[in-house]
Amino acid sequence: MRLTITLQRFNPERDATPHDEEVRLDVRRGSTVLDLLIRIKNELDGSLALRYSCRSAICGSCAMNINGGDKLACRTSVRKELERHGRLRIAPLHHLPVIKDLVVDMRPFWGKIRDITPWLSTSMAVPTVRAVTHDSGSTGSGYHNVDACIMCGACVASCTVHEVSPGFAGPAALAKVDRFLSDPREPEKLKRARLAMLQEANGMWDCTRCNYCVEVCPKDVKPMEAIIRLRRASLDRGMASTGGARHIAGFVSIIEQEGRLNEAIMPLKVVGFDVSRFLRILPLGVRMFFKGKVPNPLSHRFPGLAQVRAIFQRARRPTVL
């Protein structure tokens, strides 16, 4: 079958901006996108720049944007892409500087990884080697597969927060923090230090839980779930001063007290005693009142309130193994 492939090209020596270029090629049955790109480079245009190595979804170097999704070219079937989209358009990863054609500069990505100190401290005494088990400060078992990350950058390229806030730590870096939080060799004081660092702007609370990082991850790392575990670990350690933490704590307390969400009180739980922030949200409260979003304080209680409170009481009971 002869196929028309659309490539995003960019040569900094002669192009001011990236542009699309169409290439026609006979496609063999069972070909991957990487197979096509290698053939284009070898048979049609040797100037095409791309990055690849293992061809087995291990190294992560061939990550690129294929038909609008960030994927590994070596494991992406041409046939399936045509069946799903009816075309084949290939571009470099989003949110990373383009060096040439499909090759991006990964230094911003690696910088985010370095910022979270991706190693155990060498100053601590290493305990006797043992199997990694569930740590009291985490909320799952083992490493939750976060150590399967191959650093391909697809999660950062698809991150909607990174699109508007390049300083955001990013899914891969945050997932790696969760990996160390589950490591029994790291002392509690260092785990608290890691979590404290991520309370600031561009940290764990900036994630909007869009789930795109989970969708594009080729190794099923589930970075968003790792971020949720970090948030839970922070709350368990009493780190509840940020807006995101107050939002979660306030949401839970309102549900327990009233049996349902009170949208009028929820913003107050987030801003706390900050007068300037309260004045900024006051117009929102007025609009909510006229839209019927403010419950009548004199109305009857929620009929299932007792059952809702019983759920909270049951959840607080210590688990007996």
- Cα–Cα–Cα angle for 64, 67, 73, rounded to 5 degrees: 35
- Give the whole-angstrom CA distance, residue 158 versus residue 171: 10
For the chain, what are the domain ranges?
2-104, 107-236, 243-316
Return the higher-pLDDT residue of 21 and 138.
Answer: 21
Question: Can you give the pLDDT at residue 225?
Answer: 95
pLDDT in tens, 77-87: 999 999 999 99
* CATH of region 2-104: 3.10.20.30
Does the structural domain 107-236 have CATH classification 1.10.1060.10? yes
Question: Can you give the pLDDT at residue 278?
Answer: 84
Residue 138 — very low, low, confident or very high, per pLDDT cuts 50/70/90?
A: very low
Residue among 110, 183, 111, 109 nearest 143 (CA): 183
- Give the whole-angstrom CA distance, residue 108 versus residue 97: 9
Question: Can you give the pLDDT at residue 28?
Answer: 87
Question: Can you give the pLDDT at residue 22?
Answer: 96
pLDDT in tens, 3-13: 999 999 999 99
- Give the whole-angstrom CA distance, residue 177 versus residue 116: 7
Q: What average pLDDT does this structure show over 49-65?
A: 96
Kindly report which listed range (65-69, 98-102, 205-209, 315-319) carries the lowest average pLDDT score: 315-319
- Give the whole-angstrom CA distance, residue 274 versus residue 75: 51
pLDDT in tens, 243-288: 889 889 899 999 998 888 888 888 888 887 778 888 888 888 888 8
